């Protein structure tokens, strides 16, 4: 046997390795089992109708909706083949037709939000899809789509970052993505290491923002406190301020 030089390998502690692997691949536990993402990825015998908001392609919510469609199609190519998408703008239709996970049936109906919602509602009633996914920027017109989905007994997954529209979606849908969740949903549906890294990046940035606000608020309070001779004087002034406000 020749004298081969073998580099000594240091085996990693199994627990540590497992923890590292889990950290690399799994998103935050609270988001992993999001009902909306689970509904998107669950096996279904019939087609789904995508309604990516009633705004143009320059709205980040529309981009997030298309990104979610791509992620869902990559995870479940068999189920997504028969899906259709109703576009609120010709550019959205062209973008949807050129998606990497090919979506053959993308149609444009109207760029007027109410006209678009009416067309989407009509299509839900006609085609009776098993799942209706209304994720994107919506106004009050989204309730028409939600009502049509309810009447057709289709499962409804809604999502919007419009704060005024969120309560209506929570009320009307089976599962709702609220606020930032629509931007995190594509990564949740993809479940790839890179997507997980993006999610972790979101969380880190949010923690940084919260910490900055907390530190700035504390510094403001301390600066105000320094202007008073004692803590008692500060609290007295604060109480007087609150009383005068009420």
Residues in contact with other proteins by the rule CB under 8 A: 56, 58, 60, 63-64, 66-67, 70, 87, 89-91, 93-95, 98-100, 107-109, 111, 114, 122, 126, 140-141, 143-144, 146-147, 150-151, 161, 163, 167-168, 170-172, 178-180, 182-184, 186, 194, 198, 201-202, 205-206, 209-210
Phi, psi of 156 (to 5 degrees): -125, 120
**What sign results for the dihedral spanned by CA atoms 162, 143, 141, 44?**
positive
| Closer of 78 and 245 to other proteins (Cβ) | 245
For 163, counting Cβ atoms within 10 Å of its Cβ (0-12 exposed, 13-18 middle, 19+ buried), the class is exposed
Which is nearer to other proteins, 48 or 173 (by Cβ)? 173
Least Å distance, CB 213 to other proteins, is 8
Strands in 175-178's sheet, in edge-to-edge order, are 105-108, 84-87, 48-51, 131-135, 155-160, 175-178
Residue with Cβ nearer other proteins (79 or 96) = 96
Report the nearest approach of other proteins to the CB of residue 33 (Å): 19
Nearer to other proteins, 2 or 194 (CB): 194
Residue 192 neighbours by CB distance under 10 Å: 14
At closest approach, how far in Å is the CB of 196 from other proteins? Answer: 13
| HSE value, Cβ hemisphere, 13 Å, CA-based, for 192 | 10
Q: Give the shortest CB-238-to-other proteins separation in angstroms.
A: 16
Measured from the CB of residue 124, what is the shortest distance to other proteins in angstroms? 12
Judged by CB, which is closer to other proteins: 40, or 67?
Answer: 67
Question: At a CB cut-off of 8 Å and minimum separation 6, what does 39 contact?
Answer: 131, 155, 157, 174, 175
């Amino acid at each position: 046997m020749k004298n081969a030089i073998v580099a000594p390998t240091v085996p990693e502690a199994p627990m540590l390795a497992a923890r590292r692997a889990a950290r690399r691949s799994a998103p935050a536990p609270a988001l992993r089992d999001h009902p909306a993402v689970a509904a998107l990825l669950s096996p279904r015998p019939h087609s789904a109708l995508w309604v990516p908001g009633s705004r143009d392609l320059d709205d980040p919510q529309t981009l997030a909706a298309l990104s979610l469609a791509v992620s869902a199609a990559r995870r479940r190519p068999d189920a997504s083949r028969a899906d259709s998408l109703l576009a609120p703008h010709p550019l959205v239709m062209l973008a949807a037709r050129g998606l990497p996970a090919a979506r053959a049936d993308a149609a444009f109906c109207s760029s007027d939000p109410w006209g678009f919602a009416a067309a989407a509602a009509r299509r839900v009633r006609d085609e009776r899809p098993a799942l209706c996914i209304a994720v994107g920027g919506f106004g009050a017109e989204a309730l028409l789509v939600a009502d049509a989905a309810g009447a057709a007994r289709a499962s409804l997954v809604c999502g919007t970052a419009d704060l005024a529209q969120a309560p209506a979606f929570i009320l009307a849908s089976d599962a709702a993505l609220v606020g930032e969740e629509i931007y995190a949903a594509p990564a949740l549906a993809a479940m790839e290491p890179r997507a997980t890294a993006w999610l972790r990046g979101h969380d880190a940035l949010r923690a940084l923002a919260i910490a900055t606000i907390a530190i700035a608020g504390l510094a403001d309070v301390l600066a105000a406190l320094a202007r008073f001779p004692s803590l008692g004087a500060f609290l007295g002034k604060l109480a007087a301020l609150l009383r005068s406000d009420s």
